[in-house]
Structure 1
Amino acid sequence: MEAIDIDGRRHRVSRKELAWRPSAYAVIIRDAKVLLVPQKARGFDLPGGGVEFGESLAEAVEREVREETGLRVEAFPVAAVQESFFIWAPDDPLRRAAYQCHMFYMPATVIGGELSTLGFDPREQQDLDLARWIPLGELGAIEVASSCDFRPVVEAIAAAGQSHVRAIPVAD
């Protein structure tokens, strides 16, 4: 089967190489802007990541947002799901890993904190930059650093409105 790497290149992988990886991503919209995490030299992704064993999707997205942005959020029910086959470090035999990913996208609202990189793990320190608010009107022009294009999900959530989400002022 075929898997995509972080740079969009396609690679052959066997089914036995695949590991199961559910992940949860927050779609946080405020003042016609969406919160994105810059991936150094690769574009942007939504804050989020792998769901740990025994963790709910809401717990995972709330933890991941806190780690990647410094913000505390309240997650709402899943709005969309995408599937991808992803390969990490395809050319490095020691780090190579292939995943079957189910990506759960959840609207969320900020309830506290401030933008920070203090929660980055060592890999994130190398690969990520401080999260930033990107105007929805500029979403089509950004480079996506994900195995799935999350922009249609963001646009659909923005179009549906955020009436169920309360606004909490947070410093940019």
Structure 2
Amino acid sequence: MSLPVRLAQPQDITQLIAIERSAAQLFLQQPAWRFLADGPVMSRQQHADFIQHQREWLAESASGEAAGFIAILPQQQDWHIAELSVAANWQRRGIGRRLIAEVAAQAKLQGAERLTLTTFIDVPWNAPYYQRLGFRQITAERLSLPLRQRLAEEAAQGFVAGSRCAMEFTLS
């Protein structure tokens, strides 16, 4: 299913928060990461900042139901995917793939060289999913400073060393 994707608007923020909370429920299936199901999500202010800078997109149904969103941060020649979430009732329908495709097209138009993200290595809908979409894990020696900092921040937040990785998708 390919839903239309548009830039998110301030009036979407409540739905965006609900999407991320819904998506996080998948972590109940992962004993080591169950705490994430009830963990923090992006704040209203974070969403407002992404929206103000036109860096957040929303997939929605013809009836206006928000299905998923993607938020990005430009970093040097990269667009970093800060968050990609698909509501539980919309998962496994290609929404995440559609959101990434939209962002990849926009990034390429604006001269970005690659998409990057950080994610869990062993969670099936994280690194293995992104690999199926064409992302590749970035080796430690090739990590940019912003990605090194992001992974260090994640470790400081309590993520076990070696559980996360950075990945890239080249836009050529």
Structure of higher RCO (CA pairs closer than 8 Å, 6+ residues apart): 1
The structure with more helix, counted as a fraction of residues: 2
The structure with more strand, counted as a fraction of residues: 1
**Shorter-chain TM-score above 0.5:** no
TM-score (norm 1): 0.26
TM-score (norm 2): 0.26
